[in-house]
A and B are shown apart, each in its own frame.
Chain A
Amino acid sequence: MKKVNFCLPILLIGLIFILGACSEKGGESSEPDVSAKNRTALMINLSDQIILPSYASYKTKLEVMVEKSEAFSAQPDIANLQAFRLAWEEAYISWQKVELFDFGPASRHAIRNYHNIYPTNTAGIEANIQDANANLEAPYAYDKQGYPALDYLLNGLGSTDAAIVAAYKGQDGAKRLAYIRRLTGRMQTLLSTVVSEWNGSYRTEFVSKTGLDIGSPLGELVNGYIAHYERYIRSGKIGIPSGALVNGITSADKVEAYYKKDLSKKLAQSAHEAAVNFFNGVYANSSEEGPSLKSYLNALGTKDLSSGLLLSEVINSQFSKSNEALKGLNDNFYLEVTTNNQAMLTAYAELQKVVRLLKVDMTSAMSITITYTDNDGD
């Protein structure tokens, strides 16, 4: 009888191992979706087709901006100001396409905090201009640098280009140019650090650790992606200026690119498009799609039990509604908040629906954990 006793557990162990072995070979042919559950392919696509190329094209834009800033520095005239401003705009838009990768090297070096914290602190900037040794590497310096500080320095020093150029003449002018050089230099240094870590050991780590627990690259990526959408797109670009978040009191002066005015919508749309494309696995340099959060959810077969709709379809349809709502806004969010804030609040409500789908439905379906304490699933 002893042999019978051992049957059940041995069968159980044996079965699991045999299944494991079988499915590695035969899984793909019988079940087309199975390979899309492979998170290694997902990680490789995300890093090689989206994240790294996005950083590369951002780096190019930033280099152009630095070049133009140097030309302006050498000869501060209206033509060079306009060229610098245009390059700043393009780099700022390109930045929106990498800001969402707030995990790993980017998070470690807090690149966002040094690139895009607004509203910018003009008094702090003016003080720093006078102090060539002002510390730019601490949290209190977040709002005195990056794109919002350049926004002020390029667009906020006068009402006409001639007036702005005039601010770069004389003794203070030289100090201002020196501060611009400090800011652009710092942005480049931070970006090179992040990019070189990605090109170095982090990419290997990223594609080899496929777990979903806390601290795993994919878990951090998804949590960082959602936090970006929630706090920096929904709240930062729309919710805070429109007062949707606090007390209903509007703060039009807290829009992104406040001094440039007509750029805020373009930036919001770029950031939103980057978030949508990332979800769908769209390559950075073409419209091709690879393994993505969408294909992973589809492979898991995540659908709403009551409606039968795939979760990815529900998310994409809500992404479209958010897109539409953003598209309908004025190019200038400052103007929109002061004259037609209801449109901002409507856009906020659509973006909030995306947040819930990503934060609740998607993470739940992917089984991503947020804490590492014990849990018995109740």
Chain B
Amino acid sequence: MQQNIYWPRLAYLQKSASTAPLAVFRILFGLLIGVSMIRFALHGWIDMLYIQPLFHFSFYGFSFIKPLGQATYLIFGLCLLSSLMVTLGWYYRWAALSLFLSFTYIELMDQATYLNHYYFISLMALLMTVLPAGRYFSVDVFRKPEKACSRMPAWCLHAPLLLVFILYFYAGLAKLNSDWLLHALPLKIWLPARNDMPLIGQAFNLPWIPYLFSWFGCFYDLTIVFFLLYKKTRVGAYLTVVVFHGLTAILFPIGMFPYIMMVTALLFFPASFHHQLLDKLSKALSLSPARLHTDHSYRFPLHHQKWILTLVGTFFIFQLLFPFRYGLYPNELFWSEEGYRFSWRVMLMEKAGQVQFTVQDSHHAPERVINSAFLTPLQEKMMATQPDLILQFAHYLRDFYTKKGFTAPKVYADTYVSLNGRLGQTLIDPSTDLARETDSFQPKSWILPFKDEIKGL
């Protein structure tokens, strides 16, 4: 096997797997993103979130990514087109790359809209650019049958599974804390708000139900991938996935995430299952099943293999380590949120706050800022609890007031933040001139310590 010339001793790299699961995933993944884009547009969210606001919060290091006015619709259009081309497997590699770039661009436009599942989609789309998901049951191979492959290196199937494992397992680890397990927070706050749901609503009034949900959710996150991997528990585990995510879809406004996970979990099923699906789809589309038949195995070109494997390896090492960066910060993670994002921390906090900025300089009296004159309700809500967003807005105010005639304005924030039902506390040192502070990966000395302790990971 010449193919593994660079790592001749790694027998794992010579294992192969069917391309069918990846093909099914490609079709459904593209469709769901396409639906997401249409849903986003129909809700009017493109205009509301990206065109109306005067100011946008950027991600650290990505401040060059901004909405493009009316042209923002084109990015969403490009993303929709790419997602449908991925589904069809039409110019697959380019479509996947374009999907990754357009989707990621959208997600980086405003930090106030950050969602973990968008991050998951971006990562999965990035992985898909490398995987040969377009080599089976795609327009590409219908046009050029000689390109069709029924097998591929096994790691191409295992890589997305590993990403799913990290998502669930790390989400489970994040729940191993005293708020979640001992106080059933924030579910104790969120569930009674849905006690008027038909049939199951009344149960949410029972005091132990949030505990049951908390413990079950934690157990589910930590173990579901193992149950999906093990043949005898797979079908039961998958139905649990459907019920669990279905329930979260009914209870919480988490958009497309439940459906994306239901589709992704299909990757754990054997090739035979996916062949059946594709056979049915062929019949429905009146395609001859013979066209699916091929004996080829996909191989990465020799000169590409080394760097592709290095990149994928680096990607996963990063994914495994990056969520643990919070350990390097002294403050309570839920409070300061230093190292909180991009770490599969989902549904962990009920956090709310109010922030009042004051701008002053040597010849102007202190002026109180009306946040809503600059920010949407969503932006204001998100900013009020997140120190790095508070800092970004303080800098925007500094520049705004400089243009208004202030000389070297000082910007102070009067903050009040409640975390998981605790009475509000001051988040930011009110004597810190935020105009002079800069964002970085260093611990932020102007975040006041949390006056309580949340034990656990």
Could you list which residues of chain A lie within 8 angstroms of chain B, going by C-beta atoms?
1-2, 4-9, 12-13, 16-17, 19-21, 23-24, 27, 31, 34, 37-40, 210-213, 245-249, 300-307, 309, 311, 314, 355-357, 359-361, 363-378
B418 engages A361 (CB within 8 Å): yes
Residue of B nearest to A367 (CB): B193
Q: For the complex, is B87 an interface residue (Cβ under 8 Å from A)?
A: no
Complex interface bits, B316-327 against A, C-beta within 8 A gives 1, otherwise 0: 000000000000
A306 engages B378 (CB within 8 Å): no
- In the complex, what residues of B have CB within 8 A of residue A305's CB? 183, 420-422, 452
B235 engages A378 (CB within 8 Å): no
A372 engages B253 (CB within 8 Å): yes
Question: Known: A305-B422, A371-B378. Contact between A6 and B183, CB under 8 A?
Answer: no
Q: How many angstroms between the C-alpha atoms of A378 and B346 in the bound complex?
A: 6
B424 engages A361 (CB within 8 Å): yes
Q: For the complex, is B404 an interface residue (Cβ under 8 Å from A)?
A: no
B348 engages A378 (CB within 8 Å): yes
Which of B200, B233, B236, B378 is A17 in contact with, Cβ under 8 Å?
B200
Sample (5) of A-B pairs whose CB atoms are under 8 Å apart: A8-B240, A363-B352, A367-B189, A376-B347, A377-B190
Q: For the complex, is B66 an interface residue (Cβ under 8 Å from A)?
A: no
Residue of A nearest to B187 (CB): A377
B214-247 at interface with A (beta carbon < 8 Å): 216, 232-237, 239-240, 242-244, 247
Q: For the complex, is B74 an interface residue (Cβ under 8 Å from A)?
A: no
A246 engages B368 (CB within 8 Å): yes
Complex interface bits, B183-219 against A, C-beta within 8 A gives 1, otherwise 0: 1001011101101100111110111010000001000
Interface-centre pick from A20, A34, A377 (highest chain B CB count, 10 A): A377
B424 engages A356 (CB within 8 Å): yes
Could you list which residues of chain B lie within 8 angstroms of chain A, going by C-beta atoms?
43, 45, 48-49, 113-117, 183, 186, 188-190, 192-193, 195-196, 199-203, 205-207, 209, 216, 232-237, 239-240, 242-244, 247, 252-257, 340-341, 345-354, 365-368, 376-378, 381, 416-418, 420-424, 451-452
- In the complex, what residues of B have CB within 8 A of residue A372's CB? 253
A360 engages B452 (CB within 8 Å): no
Interface-centre pick from B195, B235, B354, B418 (highest chain A CB count, 10 A): B418
A366 engages B193 (CB within 8 Å): yes
Closest 9 CB pairs of A and B: A5-B236, A374-B255, A367-B193, A364-B352, A19-B203, A304-B423, A9-B239, A377-B347, A210-B196
User: What is the CB-to-nearest-CB distance from A201 to chain B, in angstroms, rounded to a whole number?
Assistant: 20
User: What is the CB-to-nearest-CB distance from B9 to chain A, in angstroms, rounded to a whole number?
Assistant: 38
Question: Known: A361-B418, A370-B381. Contact between A20 and B349, CB under 8 A?
Answer: no
A306 engages B116 (CB within 8 Å): no
- In the complex, what residues of B have CB within 8 A of residue A40's CB? 196
- In the complex, what residues of A have CB within 8 A of residue B350's CB? 364, 367, 377
B257 engages A376 (CB within 8 Å): yes
Question: Known: A16-B203, A20-B203. Contact between A374 and B115, CB under 8 A?
Answer: yes
Residue of A nearest to B178 (CB): A305
- In the complex, what residues of A have CB within 8 A of residue B366's CB? 247-248
Q: How many angstroms between the C-alpha atoms of A311 and B366 in the bound complex?
A: 33
- In the complex, what residues of A have CB within 8 A of residue B114's CB? 378
Question: Known: A248-B365, A305-B183, A376-B116. Contact between A7 and B452, CB under 8 A?
Answer: no
Q: How many angstroms between the C-alpha atoms of A38 and B192 in the bound complex?
A: 9
User: What is the CB-to-nearest-CB distance from A206 to chain B, in angstroms, rounded to a whole number?
Assistant: 14
Interface-centre pick from A5, A39, A304 (highest chain B CB count, 10 A): A5
- In the complex, what residues of A have CB within 8 A of residue B253's CB? 213, 369, 372-375
A378 engages B345 (CB within 8 Å): yes
B235 engages A376 (CB within 8 Å): no
Which of A8, A20, A356 is B416 in contact with, Cβ under 8 Å?
A356
Question: Known: A13-B243, A23-B202, A360-B418. Contact between A306 and B365, CB under 8 A?
Answer: no
